[in-house]
Chains A and B, each alone.
Chain A
Amino acid sequence: MSTHVHPAPADPGGTVREPHARRWDGTGWGFLVKLALMAVVNAVGVGVVWAAWVQGAWGILAASLVLLVLADWAYFSKRALPMKYILPGLVFLLVFQLFSMGYTAYVAMTNYGTGHNTTRDQAVDALLIQNERRVEDAPSYPLTIVQRDGAYGFAIVDEGVVRVGSADEPLVAAPDATLDGTRVSAVPGWEVVPYATLMSDQALQQEIVDLRVPVSDDADAGSIRTREGTTGSVYRSALVWDPDAVTMTNTETGVVYSASDEGSFVAPDGTALPVGWRVGVGFDNFTRAFTDDDYSGPLLRITVWTFAFAILTVATSFLLGLLLAIVFNDPRVRGRKVLRTLFILPYAFPAFLSALLWQGMLNSNPDYGIINQLFFFDTRIPWLEDPLLAKLAIIGVNLWLSFPYWFLVCTGALQSLPDDVMEAARIDGAGRWRTWRSITMPLLLVSTAPLLISSFAFNFNNFTIIYMLTGGGPRFTDTAAVLGHTDILISMIYQISGVAGGRADFGLASALSIIIFVIIGTISALAFRRTRKLEEVL
């Protein structure tokens, strides 16, 4: 570090030499490579912009356009040196962090969940599909697609009689038509559309799927539709969609369902059609988390337990790890290396596997549960069935899983403590305990406190151990919510989100995860501030 920085060697022309990536003269390899890579970036970027255009995804189009221009500017401009280093990180922050946070916040403000999964147009489509029924006992007719003046129609064979019609003209008999086997091969006045033509034209397929040919002038008789282009049957729709009035009318009962603010079609008497759509609901989900009896009671208990679980896990595993680290740091202990290796073993197993193994070992029947068999004299102890014991079991298993980490960290921290400070303390006449309390412990905490905080944050969201060991059970018996005594906030969110197969409520789940984020964020910020004070003391 003592050598002076040499000024950049001047080239014969007298100008300062440019970095490789910007040079034109000489081989210019750096520039060429940059050019090639940026070409790839631009190609992909333009591809994305094009795809977004086709899909009508304007947000993504704008975002990728901005990113693309920014990238080109940063890497070709001479004035954007810091940007060259910051940009990738910035982009990742934008995409991975800010986007997902923003999206979670957006979902938390909607009623997204089972029954409110789509847009209104799609809900209308789905309702029309569900309510268009094949008329009972209606046979399947061999069907041929025909065309006249650009309008499509169907020709069917009904017990040997050919009948033809289009969307505007109900079916009429066409006695002059020729048959090829069971299928119509030619109808006078109409042109037969070959099946191959149909298969190769997606727009035409859509048109055929949407085509309804009335059976007769009587609208209630239903209409012919085809699903695969070769057979047709009589269908009748019970719902009529009015896009102007935004209402659905049931033609059989006459009931009018109008679109509500809650994202479903509701009749005057309050009944709603099954398929709804996503709408913004503001802060409803947040208030529901605190006011709905099914959630507010469990939410409080689960929050308390989550804190207890995270604090106890960190405290117990830190203390045990520290104790072992001190013991095995003493040169008088024999075989330290072997013992240390043994202690680190639990850390080497994947946590979810260990949790599953422990679940089996904790089976309350001593015939199956090795813990009760070996350590509790074949007594039946319901480890995972009793609320208190289940909590103990979780903290115990998590202690077993995480003390090796603290053992490792503390061993490292202890070994890096400066000897001279210890020596000075000894010379000043401090005893073992005094040295430990005033020198070793504070120095140790400086390096381990940030880890303790992050470990707390990790355990606050330690879904794996809860899910694999108890699944949140045993269940609360005094509430209708599907939650249990060992559920922590994150497993509660999992239950509510319905990903496991129940009825989903992504809006509520997102609202709860934002609440958790705020809790953890606040605690971490406060704790890190305390840590800094710790450092200032020394």
Chain B
Amino acid sequence: MRKTAALPVAMVATVALLAACSGGDAEPAASESAGAGGTGTLTIWVDENRQPAVEAAAADFEAATGVTVELVQKNFEDIRADFLAQVPTGEGPDITVGAHDWLGSFIVNGVVDSVDLADADAFEAVATEAFTYDGQLYGLPYALETVAVVRNTELAPEPTPDTFDAMIEAGRASGAKLPFVINTAGTTGDAYTYYGLQTSFGAPVFEQNEDGSYTTDIGMGGEEGQAFAAWLGENGMAGTGLFSTDWTYDIAVQEFADGNAPYTIAGPWAIAAFEEAGIDVAVDPIPSAGGETAAPFVGVQGFYVSAQSENALLANDFLTNYMATPEAQTALYEADPRIPALSEVAESVAEDPIVAGFLAASQNGTPMPSIPEMADVWEYWNAAQSSIISGSAEPAAAWDKMLADLESNLG
């Protein structure tokens, strides 16, 4: 008996598995008959942090329209790949939360629909710019994040100076072990955190059009790029030792939290660790190292609509009329405190000096390029910076090799 009992169970499991492969439970059949006085269903992918806030907006939407909103909680890291894989099979959600720099690959894979915001000007310019691709808006932005100078107010009570050299001088004068610490991701290299310093030399990763959108022309070459590379080398481990490939994210956070450095460049995600360590911090824009304004990357989080959504109308209604409201955006801020993309909400939460500091830094910044080519740049860019900082490569040569590799790779 025990044997025969086990077999059908196995069968059930197998068949259930096949069902999962076929991807269609009985759901499509159910929603097809929705016309007969029933209501539609809207499927939304959210991550754990944002679920409560989206839930609140969904409840309003359900009450007003009678539509059922189904929230599927997913790991944020999995969403991009799953969305790319599932939308073409007709299985993806109607709406998903996501980061703006996924947009390029969503576009070339044809999985995302455009969005029409009645009042796009109500958002921070950098936020809508980030979700704009080739002149068209592809998502509802809701939060910004960027890196800025985080200052230990005990070691450096004065606001961060305007130039990098002056900041280092103040750092040395503070008597701390290190004048400044920055995450280099060990030997991997972290061009993201260094980008503000790079742009102050006038060497953006890609050239921008007048409307802020990125071209595929590399902007890191020429004299400006070389000047930045030379500067990295001078201050690397073979030079003044200001930068080091020994610093991973953990080490950089630890050094700052231990009070060994008065300044660091970090994002809002590191603040909790500093506060836990009992360090009083202030947030200032990144000082200029090369003379121009330091423009760090701004990452924008938002919501995308699937190109294969069968409920495009509902999805757009939900996004533009329920999620784009100050109430919903405030709820999102409270659920997951990042700088709000809706200017009105951003101003109201800017009483928090740390939020205000990052907001000010983000207003100097440029959106991280969302063109698909960007995905190919990181590896080469990180590696070149790392080899220059460690002193294992000659700056000009390493920079030129990176540009040549990118040139051949981007075609």
Contacts and interface: CB of A to CB of B under 8 A. Distances in A.
- Asked if A and B bind, the verdict is yes
Interface of A: 20-21, 30, 33-34, 37-38, 40-41, 44-45, 47-48, 50-52, 54-55, 57, 60, 63-64, 67-68, 71, 75, 84-85, 87-88, 91-92, 95, 99, 114-115, 117-119, 122-123, 125-127, 129-130, 132-134, 140, 196, 198-206, 208-209, 226-231, 233, 274-276, 359-360, 363-365, 367-369, 384-385, 471, 473-475, 477, 480, 482, 498-499, 501-504
A245 to B, nearest CB: 21
Nearest to A276: B108
A366 to B, nearest CB: 10
7 contacts: A30-B1, A33-B4, A117-B111, A122-B110, A130-B110, A202-B35, A502-B375
Interface in B1-27: 1, 3-12, 14-19, 21-26
Interface in B44-102: 65-67, 80-81, 84, 87-88, 90
B24 A503 contact: no
B196 interface: no
Nearest to B313: A205
B246 A363 contact: yes
A384 B392 CA distance: 13
A75 B313 contact: no
A318 B116 CA distance: 64
B109 A47 contact: no
- Of B105, B246, B313, B393, most buried by chain A (CB within 10 Å of CB) is B313
Scoring B22, B88, B246, B308 by chain A CB atoms within 10 A of each residue's CB, the highest score goes to B22
B88 A200 contact: no
B22 A91 contact: no
Given A385-B187, A475-B383, A88 B7 contact: yes
Interface stretch (B121-129, B223-231, B263-271, B315-323): B315-323
A44 B38 contact: no
Given A47-B26, A126-B307, A480-B408, 8 more contacts: A20-B1, A48-B22, A115-B372, A122-B307, A130-B134, A276-B108, A363-B251, A498-B375
Nearest to A226: B313
A41 B67 CA distance: 33
Given A115-B109, A129-B113, A275-B108, A50 B26 contact: yes
Contact of A473 (B16, B81, B188): B188
Given A91-B11, A130-B136, A209-B313, A200 B35 contact: yes
B154 interface: no
B246 A364 contact: yes
B210 interface: no
Given A55-B90, A117-B111, A202-B311, A64 B18 contact: yes
Contact of A127 (B110, B188, B314, B401): B110
A133 B7 contact: no
A21 B4 CA distance: 8
B18 A117 contact: no
Given A75-B7, A200-B37, A202-B32, A125 B110 contact: yes
B38 A200 contact: yes
Nearest to A293: B408
Nearest to B407: A480
B409 interface: yes
Contacts of A276: 108
Contact of B19 (A47, A227, A364): A47
B272 interface: no
Interface residues of B, number: 91
B186 interface: yes
A439 B56 CA distance: 74
Contacts of B192: none
Contacts of A203: 35
Nearest to A136: B135
Contacts of B317: 228-230
A133 B115 CA distance: 11
Contacts of B18: 48, 60, 63-64, 67, 95
Closest 8 CB pairs of A and B: A126-B110, A37-B8, A365-B246, A228-B317, A117-B109, A88-B10, A275-B110, A228-B316
Contact of A38 (B8, B26, B380): B8
Given A48-B15, A209-B313, A227-B116, A201 B135 contact: no
B114 interface: yes
Contacts of A482: 379-380
A453 B66 CA distance: 61
B110 A118 contact: yes
Contacts of B376: 502-503
**Most A CB atoms within 10 A — which of B7, B118, B135?**
B7
Most chain A CB within 10 A, of B90, B248, B379, is at: B379
A499 B1 CA distance: 46
B222 interface: no
A399 B109 CA distance: 43
Given A48-B15, A229-B317, A385-B392, A41 B38 contact: no
B88 A119 contact: yes
